[in-house]
A and B are shown apart, each in its own frame.
Chain A
């Protein structure tokens, strides 16, 4: 009889435990800041060397000249495989990974993103917002990064048995 229903005790114990699943779109679990989600772009650092474009295995990134010595970076999210090779290749560290992974879209055109125009507030729904200068985007990004650090500091790894 001892080996009938070995898992019974664990099942009953689980009944009173907090569920391991979450109601996803309403409750979000934090993810590590080192997560290789969508990349971000610092326009003032880019020198337009095109190494990231050449090294991208999925042809997902495009650097084009916007003005004299100012380059614009376009990312095709539908192509991107999130390998962060471009971040590795960038000699001036103008590209960074972000923890933004909620990139699903119903509108195909929204999958092409001009990275320098992306304001950090509208990251979640990837809406290109025009009319912001590179500097303001830059400062906003720094702020939000600091915010996030404050929020997700502490144990990042969630262990169910704790």
Chain B
């Protein structure tokens, strides 16, 4: 009982994910800055920002629904942190394992996006309203390819459970390389999920101020920012577990190091993508997701089904 509590609260639970989230934000910001030939923030900047935001005054718009306005950031934080608990860290078994937990993680990871939408909607601000509409529109475009891309490796392993997918690919050597198409699709879709350039349309600073978060200030905004960062880590861990299913049975320390390296790699990819592109428009985003990403994800599923059928014969 106490051991489980420690696992949930400290490692690999909430404290670990909190530190990891801040580290991820630092890595992202530093990489982004260095690629733009800037110096970038010092290592404690994300934590300092978090503490500073917590100490700031909280202003709630008069017309906003006060209860929902306050609850939403915490819901977002809780959802993403909970999602992390189901993703394996150093051993194939995640903290709580059950059949089909990949699907569960994807669905839990959708909750923060919905809270962003609700946050914008209940702020009763024009910019927030437009931002929340964009959040929903964007979600409908990237969620389908993301789901298909993340589930594609599981088709080959005949399972949508982390431990079984990892065990299957672990015994097959470098077979996981076959999923490279869906890995690319998933990374792009995750970029959309995390609302970063080129898909930062819902919070496009130069268009709608801060989108759904326009009215959020102080501690509540700090929790939203934290939720965003944990979401980055959770999504990276999800991609790591599904598309890089190796290095899970090498013991505690080596396992952690490999896990961190994988997360770092994905954060590097995300940072590079956000460095080299301009923000695209909502209509272009929808078009792009349905015209290119979805067919690519379908192609991967088709490939996997064909391979599976060929192997069965």
Contacts and interface: CB of A to CB of B under 8 A. Distances in A.
Direct contact between A and B judged by beta carbons closer than 8 A: yes
Interface of A: 5-8, 11-12, 14-15, 17-23, 160
Contact of A20 (B31, B38, B277): B38
29 contacts: A5-B276, A7-B276, A8-B272, A8-B276, A11-B35, A11-B36, A11-B272, A11-B276, A12-B35, A12-B272, A14-B35, A14-B36, A14-B37, A15-B34, A15-B35, A17-B37, A18-B37, A19-B33, A19-B37, A19-B38, A19-B39, A19-B40, A20-B37, A20-B38, A21-B37, A21-B38, A22-B39, A23-B39, A160-B37
A6 B277 CA distance: 9
B275 interface: yes
A12 B276 CA distance: 10
A127 B76 CA distance: 53
A14 B34 contact: yes
Contacts of A6: 276
Interface string B7-39: 000000000000000000000000101111111
Task: Name the prevailing secondary structure of the A interface residues.
Answer: loop
Nearest to B42: A23
Contacts of B277: 5
**Nearest 9 A-B pairs (CB), nearest first?**
A11-B35, A20-B37, A5-B276, A19-B39, A14-B37, A8-B276, A21-B38, A7-B276, A15-B34
A65 to B, nearest CB: 51
Interface of B: 31, 33-40, 272, 275-277
Contacts of B272: 8, 11-12
Given A11-B275, A12-B272, A17-B37, 7 more contacts: A8-B272, A14-B34, A14-B35, A19-B39, A21-B37, A22-B39, A23-B39
Nearest to A18: B37
Contacts of B31: 15
Given A8-B272, A11-B275, A21 B35 contact: no
B284 to A, nearest CB: 14
A6 B272 CA distance: 12
A21 B33 CA distance: 10
A7 B198 CA distance: 14
A160 B36 CA distance: 13
Contacts of B34: 14-15, 19
A139 B248 CA distance: 74
B41 to A, nearest CB: 11
A21 B39 CA distance: 6
A23 B275 CA distance: 22
Nearest to B33: A19
Nearest to B39: A19
A23 B276 CA distance: 25
A160 B37 CA distance: 10
B50 to A, nearest CB: 22
